[in-house]
């Protein structure tokens, strides 16, 4: 897709071990749209770390055959990504940065309309996430170092 999306609001930044035991990344979760119906989950760029594709990470946690169609599997993976962000916001394990109001941008890789609402969301957007405030971005990077 490659388009740029921007917004202002609550952002939760957290670490994720995407491949056990030691491959980690830094993720951000926020919402946009009417009543926050679009979930935004993006990978913050950290030069010394991999930049995993979130749906591939989610797919590693689901057996393709359980969902029948590719669309069912894609929705299950999207749900896993949303659940990961939402869970980090409400008190997941590990360090996190929760900023109540800040500007952000997402270089959009994927847009997935969901078959049914998940955690109040009906669409998931993933990609590369940036906090527009340099000081907050530095605070976020400290979570992984």
Task: Report helix, strand or coil for 137.
Answer: helix
Domain spans in the chain, listed from the N-terminal domain onward: 4-142
> Tokens for 7?
């917004």
Per-residue confidence (pLDDT) for residue 127, from 0 to 100: 97
Per-residue confidence (pLDDT) for residue 64, from 0 to 100: 55
Per-residue confidence (pLDDT) for residue 143, from 0 to 100: 93
Per-residue confidence (pLDDT) for residue 121, from 0 to 100: 96
**pTM (2 decimals)?**
0.90
- Please say whether the beta carbons of 76 and 54 come within 8 A: no
Per-residue confidence (pLDDT) for residue 2, from 0 to 100: 73
Cα separation values, 60 from 68, 79, 126, 144, Å = 16, 13, 17, 22
Tell me the residue length of the chain: 145
Question: Tens-digit pLDDT profile for the chain (145 aa)?
Answer: 579 999 999 999 999 887 777 778 999 999 998 889 999 999 999 988 888 899 998 888 765 544 444 568 888 899 999 999 999 999 867 789 999 999 999 999 999 999 999 999 999 999 999 999 999 999 999 998 7
């Amino acid at each position: 897709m490659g388009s740029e999306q921007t917004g202002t609001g609550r952002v939760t930044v957290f670490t994720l071990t995407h491949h056990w035991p030691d491959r980690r990344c830094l993720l951000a979760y926020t919402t946009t749209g009417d009543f926050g119906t679009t979930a935004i989950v993006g990978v913050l760029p950290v030069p010394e770390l991999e930049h995993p594709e979130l749906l591939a990470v989610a797919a590693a946690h689901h057996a393709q055959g359980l969902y029948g169609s590719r669309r069912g599997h894609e929705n299950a993976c999207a749900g896993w990504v949303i659940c990961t962000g939402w869970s980090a916001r409400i008190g997941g394990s590990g360090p996190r940065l929760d900023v109540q109001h800040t500007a952000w941008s997402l270089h959009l890789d994927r847009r997935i309309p969901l078959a049914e609402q998940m955690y109040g969301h009906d669409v998931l957007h993933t990609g590369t996430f940036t906090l527009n405030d340099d000081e907050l971005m530095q605070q976020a990077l400290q979570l992984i170092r």
